Amino acid sequence: MAKTKVCVIFGGVSSEHEVSLMSAKSIIDNIPTDKYDVVKIGITKKGRWLFFPGCSDDIISDTWHEHPDCVPCLISPDKTTKGIIKLFDNEVFIEKIDVVLPVLHGKNGEDGTIQGLLSLADIPYCGCGIFGSAACMDKVYANIIFDHLGIERCKWDYI
């Protein structure tokens, strides 16, 4: 039986970059490798996407992007690709993936943007969908929704 190929995306340009690194290491270290093949995409603080073939210790120390075998990559919104496009020496390689674990915190991770890209690409992912992510990232809109639905919580206001 073929293993499920799981892509863990970590890092990012948000102020919570380091939190993402800690979360990613924990997740990667606990995925059962007898059932899953893990591939990793790291996003630098400047927003560069890199396919990262190294170990999770380099993630936690934030030296992962210095790995000599990192190559630029992207996820195409084209539904026929269903994978990672790796760019190496003016050549393009496609690595198919089955599911994505977006381990990104804050802006461009929990706000629906990565979920939108993965939805366009028709690649399954874990976590909240586009609207739930976007609505809950904006605390004013989240509270308006909670008020409308009658969900009790502490009093709130905005300026």
* pLDDT per residue as tens digits for the range 83-103: 999 999 889 999 999 999 999
Token match 């059962």: residue?
32
Indicate the pTM of the whole model. Answer: 0.90
- Residue 144: predicted pLDDT: 86
Give the DSSP per-residue string, 37-89. Answer: EEEEEEE-TT--EEE--S-HHHHHTT-GGG-TT-EEEEE-S-TTT-EEEEEET
* pLDDT per residue as tens digits for the range 62-80: 999 999 999 999 999 999 9
- Residue 154: predicted pLDDT: 87
pLDDT of 159 strictly over 90:
no
* pLDDT per residue as tens digits for the range 112-144: 899 999 999 999 999 888 878 877 777 888 888
What is the rounded CA–CA span in Å between residue 98 and residue 128?
A: 17
Number of helical (H) and strand (E) elements in the chain, helices listed first: 5, 7
Q: What is the DSSP letter of 126?
A: S
Token match 């990262």: residue?
52
